[in-house]
Structure 1
């Protein structure tokens, strides 16, 4: 399935696909692979899959997929499949010790989206993105994959150095409420199977003590050609890449007597199992009903049709559940339904919801009653038609953008093909399948999907709730009684109300364009309408089916007093949840079924505006929605009550999560005691004044004369002008000229160090912030970005690689130009509480060294390449242009052409001494904020 797999396919399937007539006559036969994909198997059994794809330009996505994971570990190797994954970044034949990471960083490739890997129960997959504009770099990428496949060093000294990193990954991922919940839930889902005692993170005692030879034994047993695939997707010559693969992988060593790869199943059961989990740090109450079934990778037209039925079912049931959620007395704040792959042999189908703490049984009853209503009466024809329109639109969008699909999507799809047998026919075939199958699907066909949720066998119903006063978790008997009670109900059929009115019935007369300018350098058109509204248009060819919109006006919540701030901060979300014009949210969504369009209002501290997106075919609807959100906003009492309930529910449990205490302490240290930073207190939500909130909204959006609208994407300038004259030109305008107020607290001076004691696990989190004032020039923005890059690399090299003290560390830098040009540079990491002093000291020592000695030439090369490569990719995205032109829309004094065209010159001009001076000025060791989260037991 293009760009999606079992679970992704579900999301896509609230979405898209079609059989040709030839396909339909062979409905059960596997679909042939996309002819543009070159696949082969070497004599030693290694599989390769290659596709040329030019999005992004001059880049390739490389994968080494190994069909072995933690399930293949021996009893003395628990956790070592994952440990081995780490070791492949710590020494190979061509790249000893840290040279692999160093080399890739010098190309602008860093840990994260470009360089990564994962280990699961059934497989291990290595990911590498490399530039292709230099043939030698691409060839080196395949050298890396070859070394990973067969030539890892697994040096005992490096193994010892990496133990701490793996332990810190375990600490970060498992030593928290989610980890504790997972440890109770998985044995119930997996039963008496190998999956229960082969979780990939493993046994920390083995991780801490296993000799290197035990790691090597796993490598030599399971990393072998017949269990591996090399996958390459990108902007390259397919013949040349195939030759590179054959040259490197044809002679991989093969074991003389390879062990058969064992596969393991999950036992079935004839009943519904129940589980109630409570945890003092779990910040929400959720339930989920899961039904397990044998995994099916979509291979044939029949499989795709079944997935299509699930997609339609999901779309219609979630619409019904959301309709209930929007009622003031709803017992849940969100709901979900869908399926996916649990582990290799098991698919799941599930329904669930986030519940109000004091209405757990009621919430489960309401959700399951809707499932029962579908079981008894099915869906209505009108519901099905809307769902079909939505699914078809999503597939159509994928088809229209088939030439602009990111190589990552294809690479992940081909990994799944190798590992699970999922077919890869290509979006052309999938879209044809959907176009032909959709008209034949009846309500009865979709209603049958209900059986995946209501059959008694292989079901698990679990509830996870916070362990706190006022929350009474249900018993297993009470959960069973709810399901029994629902099954016994005699229900009324669902009544679907029609939504066939026009979104905007009135005909608006076109308004004159009074000024126009074309920027040849940026291919950007700017014009002004008679009412003062500015419009900026930037056509691109990056996405066939995407137009992005941003409208912005100076002012924002800064123009209201503190007493009105809660209303100003809340009203955009309330309006968004109320529908627009004459239509409540449910009716609006029905009207928009089958359209790819959305508009969302927002009020920030210094501005108000709209964000939106649309397919070119729905562009007029985008303009109509923008017009209505500015002239006919709704803030109805039901949406208001639902908003308050949702916010209060989240806020009351927020403090249970230890990380929230850390975040609050950072906010207080930086901004002091102000209502304008951090989450609103519950008392403020409870006393919100809806009438006053709507007054603020209408004041902010009621005068369009200082609004600028930006449109980026597959746009025709003349079409934009036509719709702008009709819809934007008729927005009310009173000639208002205003700007924002400065209500942002000044950065603190001196050193602020705060320790927070929350949480039961042996885990600390460190946040360091250097705040201050800065001249917000393009040069300084890029200078801080370079500092961030250098800090990132140095922190990883010291805290992770040299000390084994963290799994991940991060540096971040940003400049807030408005209202008063402040900056923040951040360092953060999680660690053993007993090593906090050592690791924070090491972090400050890195800053001190940069101040005293400046960055090395290697530091500068890595940062330079990361910024250069990042900008190359950004320039080919609509999001970059929307952000850049949105800044210009907000502040027309910006030299937007110079900012875009001068990037490389600014980057080339940054010297090591510039960085040194900037670190001295902006990261002073006598002015910073340090907040450390410790376990409660350390207080």
Structure 2
């Protein structure tokens, strides 16, 4: 059963301009539901009957009747339901029960290749036309329409925004044609084969090799050990149209297909669409037999070693067991919940040791059902430095202690409390679960042969386990022993340098007696909010005004200078978003030297509040809906969290106290340093890693505010320097609080008054450093190298634009220019030339700075195709300057952007992002009213004018990342 705390699975915007009559009327958000009692009626098992939906055969869990289930005469199964989140959208999933484990040796990679061919063309659309059809319907290629091939399943995904009857009908026709009759010809195969090979080439080599080696060890003797969905070069190059068609005809059958639709439409209409378009699909030939996926067997190697210098030293362990399919019953799920409690307790203990300065940076255990091949208890360990033997010993000692000694009821109750709090929140917010999420959950359940249950049903099953006394020390200890039993325990270590003895050392380490190293644990005391440092008396309101009327967002000012932006609304039931912007952000940092700012996201929150470190804060907030995150923007630092109306006051109190009385625990700083050093070399291991490390610094003319720290900077990081840098920044500069969500205006004002309004007036922040420079034009590209695969490279070209709130209208039109550029580059570089799988064009406009924006084109290409990339990109840019785009191109650029805005504007995060900083810069809020018209009224002439203004060849800057030359 899919429920909110299930285990992680292994996984080696003017609408009138673009829509006609919607399937359902767009209405105001429904009223918030009445507060539910946490005491739900006991769950009773249900008996099987003729009306039992196909997904629930063999289960006694009451079926989720929000779904309509059915089976067509040809064997195709379907499930449809109404869901209005986001409004007007319909999420469609078509799952084929075939992945890489169904391939023969000569068909390696065919399931994934067929996925590509199906999207390229089919019986109802010519080559490449499906993308254009969906763009005209507002679909964003790559996010709203996508597909994924796994070991056991291929899933086609379409999120259809602003769905109309005609749009749904056309989309279902295309999808049905893709399944039944994709275009598989020598021409289409030869056109798409290079794209698949490019996708394979662009994968990060070290990570790929590590994943392959891990599967080879953990699943030795089973097909999963050597069946990556990406396939291999030899079989892909040898593929013929007849061979691929044979694979399609064998596995793409209606009796192996499931269609799932969740959307803003009458379920009867959705069901009729399935019947209309998929009933004519008929299987070809006899049904194939599912392959034997084998079972883990003892007797093979227990350990393996890989040497990937680009990756940190790390250890992965797994206790393997056969994958079995049992009935997905209430008791089965309750027993699995006990297993999860056991794992959570171990992980809590491991994390506590890591925070205190253990031999490992991080370690964790997980339960995984892997591709119908094995059930495993997986353990991942990231040692401090290279002493992996000590890390393995210490992690195993923690596990050994849990095996020998039952946990305390206090430990169990903490985990039960946190799980129940999360489940209660899921029940409260279930009305705003996105249709795409619900569809994905059901597709996953089909793949792993389980059912689905709504949040309320999951909570009732969990409460039944509590009432049935499933969570006792003895039962949790028994579950701990069970999840660490299996056929064998196997382990793999990555060492940066070869060690001939490492295989034997690791085998010995995972079998050594660690009882002498077992940890001792004492009781953990309860922590209360009243123990936080005290704030002052509640602040006085000095002003209140409406700054935006649709929707109505208000500004409230307090006597101490704090400003509040609030938007009380119940569009997202049970959720309240809190964002606190303070100081000047990156504008407050020096531009002549590297600072400890780079460690802020890793160590600032973890450093604690007052006398409380992260351990105490976890106990303080564990069974509450209170979060604490940190980020840096151009013009502000940001602390935030997602909470509920009941927890809003304490959420605000925690953040306010973090500013007024921050903690300075040195351990998180040391841990942050260790994390960055452990991953430092991996940044050089691929073009993507080098881009992530160097690109923003280069695009800001090596301004250290955007540059990544080098090894010396990281090694020099210590707690004293970290505190000396961050302490004045936390204590100075303006504060803007945003509270958007399911609460009331009075409650919000009172909560802010008693927390941020109670702070002492803050000194002004240092003058903002707003000087930002784009790099000078270069006649030849800047060169960076990587240490990864010799067939990988990347090419980047960028043009400077602008920044600031005064130019927001122009920035929105630039989104359309970038969309047209992206579509042309994708067609030329990927679909036609097959040189790159992931070319992209984006635009960035920093609202908090007067300059620093850019249009950026990027492509992962072979090393000998970088010049070809620049030739194409500059050619497209020159044509956009010289010639107006077609009306069809304009529509295909506008529709997805407008639909995206329509969808995200139904949520609070959109309005928070648009209004952020508006108390200091009202132009940001004023510009919100023109978002739709800025995009919807843009003309082809506007696009050309922007191209003339910005895509100037004498201003562009370019970069290549090529393989490092090996010494002879």
Aligned counterpart, 1:420: 448
CA contact (8 A) 2:320 2:374 kept: no
**TM-score computed with the length of structure 2 as normaliser:** 0.90
**1:512–1:288 distance in 2 versus 1, CA, 3 Å:** same
Aligned counterpart, 2:619: 590
Aligned partner (choices 151, 175, 181) of residue 210 of structure 2: 181
Aligned counterpart, 1:826: 856
Alignment of 1:846 onto 2:876: yes
The residue matched to 2:604 in structure 1 has which SS? helix
Q: Post-superposition shift, 1:708?
A: 1.3
CA contact (8 A) 1:757 1:933 kept: yes
Q: Post-superposition shift, 1:536?
A: 1.0
Q: Post-superposition shift, 1:605?
A: 5.3
Aligned counterpart, 1:260: 289
Aligned counterpart, 1:936: 964
Aligned counterpart, 2:509: 482
Q: Which moved more, 1:559-568 or 1:713-722?
A: 559-568
Q: Deviations over 1:449-487 (max 9, x none)?
A: 3224533623221112334xxx85862221232233344
Aligned counterpart, 2:459: 431
Aligned counterpart, 2:933: 905
Aligned counterpart, 1:373: 401
CA distance in 1, matches of 2:941, 2:583: 38
CA distance in 1, matches of 2:567, 2:162: 28
CA contact (8 A) 1:760 1:936 kept: no
Give the unaligned 5+ runs of structure 2: 12-37, 49-55
CA contact (8 A) 2:194 2:835 kept: yes
Give the unaligned 5+ runs of structure 1: none
CA contact (8 A) 1:114 1:127 kept: yes
Alignment of 1:269 onto 2:298: yes
**TM-score computed with the length of structure 1 as normaliser:** 0.93
Aligned counterpart, 1:461: 491
Alignment of 1:495 onto 2:522: yes
CA distance in 2, matches of 1:652, 1:86: 34
CA distance in 2, matches of 1:667, 1:871: 27
**1:715–1:585 distance in 2 versus 1, CA, 3 Å:** same
Alignment of 1:146 onto 2:173: no
Equivalent residue runs for 1:499-898 within 5 Å: 499-501=526-528, 502-504=530-532, 506=534, 508-519=536-547, 520-556=549-585, 558-559=587-588, 561=590, 566-570=595-599, 573-602=602-631, 604=633, 606-651=635-680, 654-657=683-686, 659-663=688-692, 666-667=695-696, 669-688=698-717, 690-691=719-720, 693-703=722-732, 706-734=734-762, 736=764, 739-751=767-779, 753-758=781-786, 759-773=788-802, 776-889=806-919, 891-894=920-923, 896=925, 898=926
Q: Deviations over 1:701-735 (max 9, x none)?
A: 3246x211111111211111111121112101056
The residue matched to 1:276 in structure 2 has which SS? strand
Aligned partner (choices 245, 254, 266) of residue 216 of structure 1: 245
Q: Deviations over 1:837-884 (max 9, x none)?
A: 223311221111111113222210111101110110110122111211
Alignment of 1:44 onto 2:74: yes
CA contact (8 A) 2:100 2:108 kept: yes
CA contact (8 A) 1:61 1:130 kept: yes
Aligned partner (choices 423, 429, 432) of residue 395 of structure 1: 423
**1:808–1:290 distance in 2 versus 1, CA, 3 Å:** farther
CA contact (8 A) 1:287 1:461 kept: yes
CA distance in 2, matches of 1:395, 1:473: 49
Q: Post-superposition shift, 1:259?
A: 3.0
CA contact (8 A) 1:285 1:463 kept: yes
Aligned counterpart, 1:404: 432
CA contact (8 A) 1:623 1:723 kept: yes
**1:458–1:17 distance in 2 versus 1, CA, 3 Å:** farther
CA distance in 2, matches of 1:474, 1:878: 56
CA distance in 1, matches of 2:412, 2:392: 25
Q: Which moved more, 1:667-676 or 1:124-133?
A: 667-676
**1:92–1:653 distance in 2 versus 1, CA, 3 Å:** closer
**1:47–1:732 distance in 2 versus 1, CA, 3 Å:** same
**1:561–1:49 distance in 2 versus 1, CA, 3 Å:** closer
Q: Post-superposition shift, 1:737?
A: 7.0
CA distance in 1, matches of 2:3, 2:885: 41
CA contact (8 A) 2:590 2:705 kept: no
CA distance in 1, matches of 2:202, 2:732: 49
Alignment of 1:341 onto 2:369: yes
Q: Post-superposition shift, 1:557?
A: 5.2
CA contact (8 A) 2:570 2:743 kept: no
What is the total number of aligned residue pairs between the two structures? 927
Aligned partner (choices 345, 352, 359) of residue 323 of structure 1: 352
Q: Post-superposition shift, 1:216?
A: 1.0
CA distance in 1, matches of 2:296, 2:320: 13
Aligned counterpart, 1:65: 95
Q: Post-superposition shift, 1:645?
A: 2.9
The residue matched to 1:867 in structure 2 has which SS? helix
Q: Post-superposition shift, 1:62?
A: 0.8
CA contact (8 A) 2:581 2:736 kept: yes
CA distance in 1, matches of 2:837, 2:775: 31
**1:276–1:569 distance in 2 versus 1, CA, 3 Å:** closer
Alignment of 1:282 onto 2:311: yes
CA distance in 1, matches of 2:279, 2:688: 50
Aligned counterpart, 1:109: 139
Q: Deviations over 1:387-444 (max 9, x none)?
A: 1111001111111111111112211222234333311232221111112213521122
Q: Post-superposition shift, 1:766?
A: 1.7
Q: Post-superposition shift, 1:801?
A: 0.9
CA contact (8 A) 1:272 1:458 kept: no
**1:230–1:17 distance in 2 versus 1, CA, 3 Å:** farther
Q: Post-superposition shift, 1:667?
A: 4.5
Aligned partner (choices 386, 403, 413) of residue 385 of structure 1: 413
Alignment of 1:170 onto 2:192: no
CA distance in 2, matches of 1:651, 1:227: 45
